[in-house]
Chain A
Amino acid sequence: MEHIRTPKVENVRMFDKLTPRKCMVGTLYLSSTHTIFVENSEARKETWILHSLMSNVERLPTNPSGSPLIIRCKNFHVYRLLIPQEKDCVDVLASLTRLSHPERYGELFCFSFNPNLDKELREKAWAFIDLKAEFIRMGIPRNLWHATAANHEHRLCDTYPSELYVPKSVSPAVIVGSAKFRSRGRLPVLSYYHRDSSASICRSSQPLSGFSARSSDDEQMLQAIMKSNPVSEFMYVVDTRPKLNAVANRAAGKGYENEDHYTNIKLQFIGIENIHVMRNSQQKLIDVGDLVAPTMSDFLWGLENSGWLKHIKAVLDAGVFIAKAVAEDGVSVLVHCSDGWDRTAQACSVASVLLDSYYRTIKGLMVLIEKDWVSFGHKFSHRYAHLDGDPKEVSPVMDQFLECVWQLMQQFPCAFEFNERFLIQLHTHIYSCQYGNFIGNCQKERRDLKLQERTHSLWPHLWENRAEYTNPLYRNDHSQTQGVLKPLTTAYCFKFWKGMYGRAEKSVTSQSPADCLNAVREESQQLEEELSTHQERIVELKEKTSGERKKTKKLSERARRPIPSECELGSPLDYFTTPRSEKHTPPFTLPLELAAQPKSGDPDDLSTCSDFESGVADLSSHSSSAGDDAKDPD
């Protein structure tokens, strides 16, 4: 609370990017966790912005109508405010800058977030995902694989979970020896076992091979992993880095496996770029989404220039390669990159989604994230900037995984139990710090923070609301649902994820067939219920004749779905505005001028426009602003 200088600012304007002429006047409140904008309108609509979701708060030069403030969020929402007094704006900026950059874990929202669960429920919630059960579900043959206690109390590798699955044939000495030969002790361990082919996916970090070093323990480890798959004669080592990067690492005493030293391995480089490249690429992509009135060419060129879809393809390609090796060739795969917590996690989890239909269910995806990301030490707090820290550690690694899943959903609309909303919700919570699941960088850190006692788990919350996240086209007996997915990775299959990056456009399109289908389903069920209730009633009626009418009425009310209100058919855009080619029109200049003018009577709003505003002010006034275009050539 001590960081809040001005808890309340009145007469603040909030702008909509799409219809810049439209703005809402209201009051801005700052709490310790949220910034809340309450509209002065009768509806008193509230907009809550979580401080931990803010990535950047920026103040633009003050102009006659006030001081503009732009809040950019980690989930790509952008809020544009106009604060009448410069002093207030400076105060708000200072408060938000501090509040959105917590310095200690204790300041994070999850430690104050209290959904009123008693202790027992909270514990139960944390036990919702059980990784031990997951390894059993995979059907690991007990004679070949087992859980080792070698990493008990994290003494072997502090970023790994305490329970690791390794081939039964390796001795504790080999495990220790192998860990010593791997960067940060992240030795090869089991990530996924594919029952149908008895091939497995293992993961590790890069070996400390340098130019010539070798370790017989590590070699034995790989040999044992290969032998744990009785049918194959070799195994793949997938190095997800570009070969050049891997070679460069040798100079630092790291590198990749020498095929001469390890028997029967095949080394494969995939070429996923490092976190710095990805961070820059995403920034460019966000900029593309931010363009004001871009032309089609601006947009496509920006998309190409960002390289984002190329990187998504690289991650998916890695997954496809691994899935094919495991399912079709029956060959086990060891996946690593440098540290084995970013690209390795991406490649393993994408491959798992392709291989196992369980991971394409709501619960399954939670399990997969818990296993491949949370427990194996993906550095959530660093990558998603939970705390004020090194900006070079930040990178959209998980964003890319979620996007790969989304791209797959585009190709296989019936194969996933969850919908896009689920992925977006996951994305938000990875950044939001509202729940304890993604706090910290590894299991040990989370244990030390006592997260299970002090915070709540996201998973049961999502599970309770799963109806909202269900894809209506999913059926567990559908042909797309079964077996291994074999996606096309042709360039034209990769699309810009509008739902994620194009959120500024929210008011435009809102007819969703998926929602409609869900509603259809729901109504079918309700009708059936209704039928059975009616039948019961008929039986009852034979005895008693009163009360019938009431009940029927109530039921049919329930069955009726909300009818789309006028707001759902898009809103008239400003078709008068000619697309400008400048990349960044300075925000606010135009809207403010116009907002300052009193509006000359709204055109009667017969159309379906969502909002009560007149996105298009009166035509005559700005058709002249359409510029040269409209000038009479006479």
Chain B
Amino acid sequence: MELSEHIRTANVEDVTLRRPFHPALRGTLCVTSHHLLFSDRKDEDSWQLLILLRNIDATEKSVENLFGYPRAVGSSGTITIKCKDLLVLQLEIPGMEECLNIASSIEALSALESVTEMYPFFYRPSHLTLHGPWGLSSTEKYYKQTERLWDRWRVSTVNSDYSVCPSYPHAVIVPREVDDEKLVQSARFRQGGRFPVLSYCHHRNGMVIMRSSQPLTGANRKRCKEDELLLQAVIDGSLLGYIIDLRSTQQAQQARMTGGGFESKSCYSHWKRIHRHHERGKVLQESLIKLVEACSDPSHSVDRWLSKLENSKWLSHVHSALSTAGLVVECVERDGHSVLVHGSEGTDSTLLVSSLAQLILDPASRTLTGFLGLLERDWIQAGHPFQQRCAHSAYSHARLKQECPSFLLLLDCVWQVWRQFPLALEFSEALLLRLAQEVYASNYGTFLCNNEQERCAAGVKENTHCLFQSLLSPDIEEQYLNPLYEPTDLAIWPSVHPQSLQLWTGLFLRWTEYAQNMEEAREEVWSIVKEHRERAGPDRTNNTPSTHCDTLTPFENLMDELTIL
């Protein structure tokens, strides 16, 4: 079926658009294959609102005759559009039939299943060309950049046809002494074939963060010699490595009943296992739904708000993700041991923890390019199933399948780190907000499909544009930069005390008045910094000073950081 066949009414005049904190607008509404277009009817500088249909999470229609509606003749209807970026709009459409037609077109077109029908395959801006390079980073590039790896590690292309592990990229980094045959065996012993691969090598001491899925020991405690050898090769003679299992001890034991399991002490004698419980899947998705629901009702009393916030458990998830990441960092940086992180599938919390740990440890991943590269390697190429996880967001009434806001949780955790260390990250909150939006609905192909294999099959690289490259183009890069950035080589240890973690107002209260004043404050910061740079001249721009003259105050450290920047 052609996309256009879903469109029964393409154009409606005299539609009223209501947005939060803006006066209602009258104008024309247009439905195309991928967009909802509203333009007001003022003659000259007409204002337009363009919404990707993919961004629409839920629609609610009501066709009563609205009280006080000026056109007394005929019926009308209201469609409430709830977007995946949490914006809620209302459209008042004259004519019941038009209203129902529009609503059904939106419903059909916003839930397209086929990847190649999605908008990134049609997005052809004049300033971009399809033939340029795609992406920023890859396994090979990371290997080349990281000199520390060359001695003991190698790039294996055992998965070049995706047959060993369908969700891994074509190339992975493994210990040099382990040959491809052993990798194949190890992959058979791990869920989904996700055998242990290197995610990060610490520049200070050469210790590594590995990730994998759970071993398939099952109820009768199967072993896999190759898997054991692989892990042995990782620590290479040193006495100890840590396995951070992202399930509780009990869960890990239960997993054996269904064929999964954990690395037992007797078989992996040099590895010490630590269990940390992380929620996943449906629980996380429901947590997001509850939080968004709590945020969208401004009539709550303080007590009710706090109780709903607590009840959503979202901040608890942020708390545990950051704590576990801190634990990984503690093992690598302070204790000087390598770490293997896995949960069960190794595609969600595993990636969350390993990438957060890198952000805390590695100054290179705190730059704009470095962070995007990290996301590309550790999420996109590592096979986080974006298409399944981000099919719906917090408003959808559809039955939950595989939705899970793992990536949103990562962004929230990064925001917490950024808020605690406002000078340490090169990128700004705006980048995180942009990513939170793009991951659900995008013009670009970056977040399409579930893994590299699917992306190859669909021809994503050949037929869509790359988001990350476009974010780095000089004309738009600046809005994603942190004006106060001051690089530091040190690890940035986030506080995980509950009072140090806050609701990410920039995201969850994005469409309220609250965000407005913060925007002004951000502009003010920029203008101060720019003014300074102009005065200081170009050669001093990199010297933006950062000070902590706390010694001046009789009472040290009284200053909580401004939360707004």
Contact = CB atoms under 8 A, between A and B. Distances in A.
Interface in A305-329: 307, 309-310, 313
Contacts of B548: 510-512, 515, 562, 564, 568
19 contacts: A301-B307, A413-B521, A420-B559, A468-B553, A473-B528, A490-B300, A503-B557, A505-B500, A506-B556, A510-B550, A513-B484, A521-B532, A561-B549, A563-B545, A573-B497, A607-B490, A619-B330, A619-B337, A628-B249
A464 to B, nearest CB: 13
A475 B525 CA distance: 12
Given A295-B498, A511-B423, 9 more contacts: A301-B310, A412-B517, A506-B556, A508-B497, A562-B549, A564-B547, A569-B491, A572-B334, A623-B272
Interface string B302-342: 11111101100101101100011011011101111100000
Nearest to B275: A629
Contact of A299 (B275, B330, B499): B499
A632 B265 contact: yes
B549 A575 contact: no
Contacts of B46: none
Contacts of B481: none
Interface residues of A, number: 102
A272 to B, nearest CB: 14
A380 B46 CA distance: 60
A566 interface: yes
B520 A414 contact: yes
Contacts of B556: 506
A498 B544 CA distance: 28
Chain B CB within 10 A, most for which of A300, A572, A575: A575
B517 A413 contact: yes
A634 B547 contact: no
A481 to B, nearest CB: 11
A628 B300 CA distance: 40
Given A479-B520, A626-B274, A573 B553 contact: no
Interface string B552-565: 11011111111111
Interface string A490-515: 11111111110111011111111111
B545 A514 contact: no
Contact of B488 (A490, A493, A569): A569
Contact of B333 (A300, A424, A607): A607
Interface in B494-529: 494-503, 505, 509, 512-514, 517-518, 520-521, 524-525, 528-529
Contacts of A513: 422-423, 484, 525, 561-562, 565
Contacts of A505: 495, 497, 499-500
A552 interface: no
A510 B492 CA distance: 11
B115 interface: no
A153 interface: no
A488 B512 contact: yes
B275 A511 contact: no
Nearest to B324: A575
A185 interface: no
A303 interface: yes
Contact of B529 (A75, A411, A520, A606): A520
A412 to B, nearest CB: 5
Contacts of A498: 499-500, 560
A630 B559 contact: no
B486 A520 contact: no
A428 interface: yes
B130 to A, nearest CB: 40
A630 B262 CA distance: 13
Contacts of B204: 606
B253 interface: yes
Contacts of B280: none
Interface stretch (A2-10, A61-69, A163-171, A522-530): A522-530
B490 A569 contact: yes
B331 A633 contact: no
B219 interface: no
Contacts of A92: none
Contacts of A424: 555, 558
A103 B333 CA distance: 54
A18 B497 CA distance: 10
Closest 8 CB pairs of A and B: A608-B490, A491-B305, A299-B498, A499-B560, A575-B326, A300-B310, A561-B545, A304-B306
Contacts of B497: 18, 294, 502, 505, 508, 573
B139 interface: no
Nearest to B501: A296
Contacts of A608: 488, 490-493
A428 B553 CA distance: 13
B424 A296 contact: no
A561 B509 contact: no
A114 interface: no
Contacts of A572: 326, 329-330, 333-334, 491, 493
A606 B204 CA distance: 8
A334 B496 CA distance: 47
Interface in B101-142: none
A607 B360 CA distance: 11
A475 B382 CA distance: 48
B303 A307 contact: yes
B387 to A, nearest CB: 31
Given A513-B423, A524-B532, A632-B265, A490 B298 contact: yes
A298 interface: yes
B264 interface: yes
Contacts of A511: 420-424, 546, 548, 561
Nearest to B322: A575
Contacts of A506: 556-557
A498 B498 CA distance: 11
Nearest to B535: A524
Contacts of A510: 548, 550, 557, 559
Contact of B561 (A307, A509, A634): A509
A310 B301 contact: yes
B562 A631 contact: no
Nearest to A629: B275
Contact of A478 (B300, B524, B562): B524
B115 to A, nearest CB: 37
A474 B50 CA distance: 36
Contacts of A297: 310, 313, 316
A255 interface: no
Contacts of B307: 301, 304
A414 B524 contact: yes
A573 B528 contact: no
B531 interface: yes
Interface string A275-303: 00000000000000100001111111101
B547 A561 contact: yes
A516 interface: yes
A519 B543 CA distance: 12
A496 B514 CA distance: 17
Contacts of A398: none
B558 A564 contact: no
Contacts of B561: 509, 511-514
B252 interface: yes
Interface in B369-406: none
A517 B275 contact: no
A100 interface: no
A501 B273 CA distance: 37
A573 B494 CA distance: 8
A616 B330 contact: yes
B319 A295 contact: yes
A129 B523 CA distance: 35
B316 A507 contact: no
Interface string A192-222: 0000000000000000000000000000000
Contacts of A618: 335
Contacts of A428: 555
Contacts of B493: 508, 569-573, 607-609
Contacts of B520: 413-414, 478-480
